[in-house]
Amino acid sequence: MLSVRLICVGKLKEKFYREACAEYEKRLKGYCRLEIIELAEQRLPERPSQAQIDVALTKEADAIRAKIPQGSTVIAMCIEGGELSSEQFAQKLSGWMGSGTSHISVLIGGSCGLDEALKRAAQLRLSMSPMTFPHHLARVMVLEQLYRALNIAAGGKYHK
């Protein structure tokens, strides 16, 4: 069974986000072994300089790298990434699994995004939309799309 590690910068505080994530975690149990790791977001001043942001992103990237299993296929969620339909995402996951991939790590940055080096090293840079979403909502959206894609790959009816 596929193992998926969702590595997120920032903790879910709002009850409605936690409940939505819990629902998709429950649904995903039939398709993969899911692990969600929350990492602390670096504190920044109210109006940080780009240098301060870069330092924070580097520290967050180090923490993220420490949680990516050896040999894991990495998906970096970032606005400049490519867009895939749910069917295309299902095909991508199926292709990886068919070629022996057993572990996927999905990275969701904090409010400042992800470090450039992390994004460059990822096997897939994926965007949900050219629009900007809160990183907490992105977590719900990623879990839903993982569920949808794995359901499509298994020939399920959720997608219809």
Annotated binding site for S-adenosyl-L-methionine: 109, 128-133
26 Cα distance to chain centroid: 17
Q: Could you tell me which residues are annotated as the binding site?
A: 109, 128-133
Q: Is 140 exposed, middle or buried (0-12, 13-18, 19+ CB in 10 A)?
A: buried
Q: Which residues are CB-contacts of 64 (< 8 A; sequence separation ≥ 6)?
A: 7, 9, 39, 107, 114, 115, 118
